[in-house]
């Protein structure tokens, strides 16, 4: 009898511990749509889930996902907390192949001289991992990017 009672208790605890799995893509989509509405912004959505607003298309060379590029950028969270940026006339040079997936999708949407705002759901950023404060796990990231030059 005690064994049956113990089995029932353990099964109850097991089922009670099960939680509905969170669909992070849906959570991110709702956060992004709320951000866009709150800030009166209208964005396109790429099939990958990347939201973007092209402010200037640019007229120069268009990069591919493995290009080396020179950019000016500002990265921030939905609450406006800036976590990284270039300042003034300074630029940064990156190999797109070594960056988060969202950048490999975003940058080829521009040509040299182009500017845009790119809102990355967490799956196109760092996913369930945190690269460090203030970016937490499953964080939606926003980047304002100017493509200065396709280096190679």
Q: 146 - beta bridge partners?
A: 72, 115
> What's the confidence (pLDDT) of residue 51?
99
Q: What is the CATH number of the domain that holds 127?
A: 3.10.50.40
List, for residues 19-42, the tens digit of each pLDDT value: 445 799 999 999 999 999 999 999
Token code pair at residue 70: 């020179």
* Residues of the chain above pLDDT 70, percent: 86
Q: 117 - beta bridge partners?
A: 53, 144
Sign of CA dihedral 46, 89, 69, 58: positive
Inside any domain, residue 117: yes
> What's the confidence (pLDDT) of residue 21?
58
Inside any domain, residue 79: yes
Inside any domain, residue 3: no
Inside any domain, residue 107: yes
Prediction pTM value: 0.85
Q: Which domain holds residue 29?
A: 22-150
> What's the confidence (pLDDT) of residue 22?
76
Inside any domain, residue 12: no
Inside any domain, residue 140: yes
Separation of alpha carbons 18 and 32, rounded Å: 28
How many structural domains compose the chain? 1
pLDDT above 80 (res 8): no
Inside any domain, residue 13: no
Query: pLDDT grade, residue 134 (50/70/90)?
Result: very high
Inside any domain, residue 89: yes
Query: pLDDT grade, residue 47 (50/70/90)?
Result: very high
């Amino acid at each position: 009898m005690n064994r049956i009672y113990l089995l029932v208790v353990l099964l109850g605890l097991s089922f009670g511990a099960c939680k509905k799995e969170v669909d992070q893509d849906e959570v991110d989509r709702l956060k992004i749509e709320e951000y866009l509405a709150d800030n009166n912004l209208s964005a396109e959505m790429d099939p990958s889930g990347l939201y973007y607003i092209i402010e200037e298309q640019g007229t120069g060379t268009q990069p591919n996902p493995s290009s080396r590029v020179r950019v000016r950028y500002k990265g921030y969270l939905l609450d406006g907390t800036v976590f990284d940026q270039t300042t003034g006339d300074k630029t940064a040079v990156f190999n797109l192949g070594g960056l988060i997936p969202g950048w490999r999708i975003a940058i080829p949407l521009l040509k040299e001289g182009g500017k845009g705002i790119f809102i990355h759901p967490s799956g196109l950023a760092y996913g369930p991992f945190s690269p460090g404060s203030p970016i937490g796990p499953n964080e939606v990231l926003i980047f304002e990017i100017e493509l200065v030059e396709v280096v190679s």
